[in-house]
Structure 1
Amino acid sequence: MAASRLPSFVRQHLAALRVLTVLTVLTGIAYPLAITGIAQLPGLRDKANGSLVTNTAGQVVGSSKLGQLFTDSDGNPIAKYFQPRPSAAGAGYDPTSTSASNLGPESMVDTLDDPATKDTDESKQSLLTQVCARSKAVGDLEGVNGRRPYCTAGGVGAVLSVFRTAGTTGTITRVVSINEQCPTTPFVATYQGVKVECATFGADYTAGILVPIKGPGKGTDNPVPPDAVTASASGLDPDISPTYAYLQVNRVAKARGLDPTTLHHLVKEHINGRALGFMGEPTVNVLDLNLALDKAAS
């Protein structure tokens, strides 16, 4: 007598279980082990393990592929170290929150802080004000002129909201410095004969025409390069331009009591050329440069 066959639904579930087991072994065990083994081959091991960088004591201090902050406990730049470019990833160079600001060239109006909430700062800077503030901060840190076009001396976007009798035409009736919150004194007293007001939280200025004011700052007078005031798309860029590195030489040399010429040569030695000789721009890896600086100083 032939053995009775299992019901079809049981056979289907057993077949599915066998397929699941085989695929689990292949894709969940064999494939990851194979890829891990290949990644540990000479030439691939460093990148696969995170391109970790160690100091002279053998301690892991970071990754050559990820930027990091060189600040004190209060968030201030440490004078004896070269500083990276700004980062929009979390509180700065947070690999779990990699991102860009997603702000474009038309971002000129700041969100003002509500004076009623004194314990929290709810303000939000436009891209223009971010660039202005960063440029001023870098200029103050490095002892150079950080004033940029369309920026106030205080480091915010120099933008006026101009009200006219007929919308975009007619006589000017009111002018507001849209990024300078009261009781701040506006960066200009008058505009075409009309007194300029400071901005008030909650007021509606959308009926006015936005007018950026170029001011005295000139791009040719400002030695602060673009990468010192703009964040990368990932927020994790470990490199800066040679121009920004050279700008920091005098400050770092003074903080360490070293000859600026020595640091100038150190920066030059750490310039990475264009990829394949023609792609991109020369860069300097900030972590590598600071480790070399520590080594040279010791």
Structure 2
Amino acid sequence: MNRRPWLPARWGPPLTAIGVVLALTVLLGLGYPLGMTAAAQVPGLRDRAEGSPLTGPDGERLGSELIGQSFTDVDGEPLPGYFQPRPSHAGAGYDASASAAGNLGPESTVDTPPVGNAPGVPSLLTQVCARSRAIGLREGVDGGRPYCTADGVGAVLGVYRTHGTTGRVTRVVSLNQPCPARPFRARYAGVAVGCARPGEDRARAVVTPVRGDAPARPVVPGDAVTASGSGLDPHISPAYARLQTPRVAARRGLTEDAVRTLVTAHTTGRALGVLGEPVVSVAPLNAALDRLRPGKGA
């Protein structure tokens, strides 16, 4: 017997359990966290452990390289001297506490009209069309894309037929162009196209997207007009960066070659050489522009 003669036999198991709890508390509650904290201070890991902080020209914290940011003025308009990120549905835009997606899919082509005091809800197609048109105007390029009207809404007709989905066409409405807008197409199947009247019943209309004559590969890339699943994606495609380069260079008073050099420096290739696509990190790129030519972003 190893039991101490003065210790009652019934006290052995409880004291053993208490000893195990104390040992694990010291090991896992103190030793492990302190060990991980020490490991996080190793050069090359420290910044990652602190959330990959992004610093400005004066060393101030500007955010994280892992979370995108909006570069807009007080009115929400894009600042011309900065590269713009992709759209975001996270709160008011890139809100890390409200990560979210738009939850709209390819079938979202018809806008929901306003009812009473409730505002209307644009379809995913109209959102894409409006963004592409705005970017085209900002960058001085053709912002047109298939299934979009010239005024930046989804080119979608509501076709009424004598037998519901079949039969002779009796009426055609441009569903995303409420009156008194002029429809993007004058006639369809020999019938004049009208604008959408508020409050009309569209249940019998056959939704018919119209491709139009826009190129199959639009000048404005897809990531410029669609949000990421998290709403926090800090990257854009090299194609979108190239599209913005002339504007940023002109606003900053830099040559396009100088701005392209910065873009290349902030471009990450495919993971392991084969996974994903090359991406450009927007916030660090804009911070580098501020270091190179401060005060020229607005």
How many Å apart are 1:66 and its aligned residue? 0.6
The TM-score with structure 1 as length reference comes to 0.86
* Alpha-carbon distance change, 31 to 251 in structure 1, aligned in 2, over 3 angstroms: same
How many Å apart are 1:113 and its aligned residue? 1.9
Q: In structure 2, what is the equivalent of residue 152 of structure 1?
A: 149
Separation in structure 2 between the aligned mates of residue 172 and residue 27 of structure 1, nearest angstrom: 74
Separation in structure 1 between the aligned mates of residue 52 and residue 101 of structure 2, nearest angstrom: 23
Q: In structure 2, what is the equivalent of residue 78 of structure 1?
A: 79
Amino acid of the structure 1 residue aligned with 2:90: A
Alignment identity in percent?
Answer: 56
Equivalent of residue 174 in structure 2, options 172, 177, 190: 177
How many Å apart are 1:123 and its aligned residue? 1.5
SS in 1 for 2:162: strand
How many Å apart are 1:179 and its aligned residue? 1.1
Matched, 1:195 2:192: yes
Q: In structure 1, what is the equivalent of residue 132 of structure 2?
A: 135
Q: In structure 1, what is the equivalent of residue 57 of structure 2?
A: 56
Separation in structure 2 between the aligned mates of residue 32 and residue 206 of structure 1, nearest angstrom: 61
Segment drifting more, 34-43 vs 126-135: 34-43
* Alpha-carbon distance change, 172 to 276 in structure 1, aligned in 2, over 3 angstroms: same
SS in 1 for 2:177: strand
Equivalent of residue 217 in structure 1, options 210, 214, 222: 214
Q: In structure 2, what is the equivalent of residue 274 of structure 1?
A: 270
- RMSD, aligned α-carbons: 2.7
Segment drifting more, 286-295 vs 34-43: 34-43
Q: Deviations over 1:265-292 (max 9, x none)?
A: 2222322111111111111111111111
Separation in structure 2 between the aligned mates of residue 290 and residue 67 of structure 1, nearest angstrom: 11
SS in 1 for 2:241: helix
Where structure 2 has 5 or more consecutive residues not aligned to the other structure, the ranges are: 1-13
* Alpha-carbon distance change, 186 to 24 in structure 1, aligned in 2, over 3 angstroms: farther
Matched, 1:257 2:253: yes
Equivalent of residue 228 in structure 2, options 195, 207, 232: 232
Q: Deviations over 1:136-187 (max 9, x none)?
A: 1110110000010100011110001111011111111111111112222211
SS in 1 for 2:63: strand
Q: In structure 2, what is the equivalent of residue 285 of structure 1?
A: 281
Separation in structure 1 between the aligned mates of residue 172 and residue 228 of structure 2, nearest angstrom: 35
Separation in structure 2 between the aligned mates of residue 286 and residue 31 of structure 1, nearest angstrom: 36
The TM-score with structure 2 as length reference comes to 0.86
Where structure 1 has 5 or more consecutive residues not aligned to the other structure, the ranges are: 1-11
Q: In structure 2, what is the equivalent of residue 90 of structure 1?
A: 91
* Alpha-carbon distance change, 38 to 184 in structure 1, aligned in 2, over 3 angstroms: same
SS in 2 for 1:165: strand
Amino acid of the structure 1 residue aligned with 2:227: A
Q: In structure 1, what is the equivalent of residue 164 of structure 2?
A: 167
